[in-house]
A = this chain, B = another copy of it.
Amino acid sequence: MIECMKKRRTIRQYTEQEIPESLLNELLEIASRASNTGNMQLYSVVVTRDKAGKEKLAPAHFNQPMITSAPVVLTFCADANRFVKWAEQRKAQAGFDNLQMFIAATIDAMLFAEAFAEAAEERGLGLCYLGTTAYNADQIIRILSLPKLVVPIVTITLGYPAEPLPAQSERLPIEAIRHTEQYVDYTPASIDAFYKEKEELPVNQEFVRINHKETLAQVFTDLRYTKENNEHFSDVLLNVLKEQGFLK
């Protein structure tokens, strides 16, 4: 499994091969062994296989083609609803309608999703995480009929990898990520050193060129994750947290 992890890459193109229900459920069951907050399992997953369902979800993910081309789409949700319904039915007063419990449920959903991803890849499946879920959470809530205290956090598109496999993408050196005993803030020199390899990669230099930018960082800030979009989708998310009952 360590070897599988070292070679891991995001898979955005899938073969026609279907994923049996038995395999999907086995993977979800394995994933449920992941740690979670107080064993409350504050998460749910919605599995989409129907073509019509995928087509409804696609616009919420900016029509990224993986949604409709993957045999299975999984929407992982922070979910305090099930726990609170249980509590109410058992003479218990749950005060879970707040930010801290939203974060706990988000943590639970992410550990579950990543354990699922690791198990799926170990079994030969390929997948792509979509971060668009939290951007258009309002639309996804409507499409999947998510009740109060449920917020979609991340989506995985899943299938058997089509050949040829994509190249593995680069990562920062581990010294850029790891701090020891204290967080040592980055200096101009350490930033230069840590980002050197990334900036010198031909694929990234090409990325700068075709987008007519001066630096790689500008591709991210001017095109992919603009301040304007980030702020707009933050407002959407704030409203979602209020609507779903996690924020007053």
A-B CB contact pairs (8 Å), 25 listed: A2-B122, A5-B33, A5-B118, A33-B168, A38-B225, A39-B171, A44-B178, A50-B181, A81-B186, A85-B191, A90-B217, A95-B231, A96-B225, A99-B238, A100-B234, A103-B106, A103-B153, A104-B134, A107-B153, A110-B110, A111-B117, A112-B177, A114-B114, A114-B115, A150-B183
In the complex the two chains form, is B99's CB within 8 Å of A237's CB? yes
CB of A92 within 8 A of CB of B183, answer: no
Nearest Cβ distance between residue A122 and chain B, in whole angstroms? Answer: 5
Neighbouring B residues of A205 by C-beta, 8 Å: none
Q: In the complex where A183-B44, A224-B38 touch, is A92 in contact with B171 (Cβ < 8 A)? A: no
Nearest CB on B from A52, distance (A): 9
Q: Choose among B53, B99, B180 the residue that contacts A47 (Cβ–Cβ < 8 A).
A: B180
CB nearest to A156 among chain B residues: B35
Q: Report yes or no: B6 in contact with A33, Cβ–Cβ below 8 A.
A: yes
Residues from chain B with a CB closer than 8 A to the CB of A168 are 33
Interface status of A45 (Cβ within 8 A of chain B) = yes
List chain B residues, Cβ under 8 A from A122: 1-2
Beta-carbon contact of B106 and A227 below 8 Å: no
Residues on B with C-beta less than 8 A from A212 are none
How many Å lie between the Cα of A194 and that of B81 in the bound state?
A: 14
In the complex, what residue of chain B is closest to A31 when comparing beta carbons? B5
Binds B, one of A62-70, A141-149, A158-166: A141-149
Q: Can you list, as one digit per residue, whether each of A37-60 has a CB less than 8 Å from chain B (1) or not (0)? A: 111110111111110010000000
- Residues from chain B with Cβ under 8 Å of A188 in the complex: 89
Q: Knowing that A87-B217, A96-B230 are A-B contacts, what are 11 other residue pairs whose CB atoms are under 8 Å apart, sorted by A's residue number?
A: A1-B119, A5-B31, A8-B33, A25-B178, A40-B220, A41-B177, A46-B182, A53-B181, A90-B215, A94-B217, A95-B221
How many Å from the CB of A242 to the closest CB on chain B? 12
Taking a contact as CB atoms under 8 Å apart, the answer to whether A221 and B94 are in contact is yes
User: Please, which residues of chain B bring their CB within 8 A of the CB of A170?
Assistant: 39
Q: Which of B41, B94, B182 contacts A171 (CB 8 A)?
A: B41
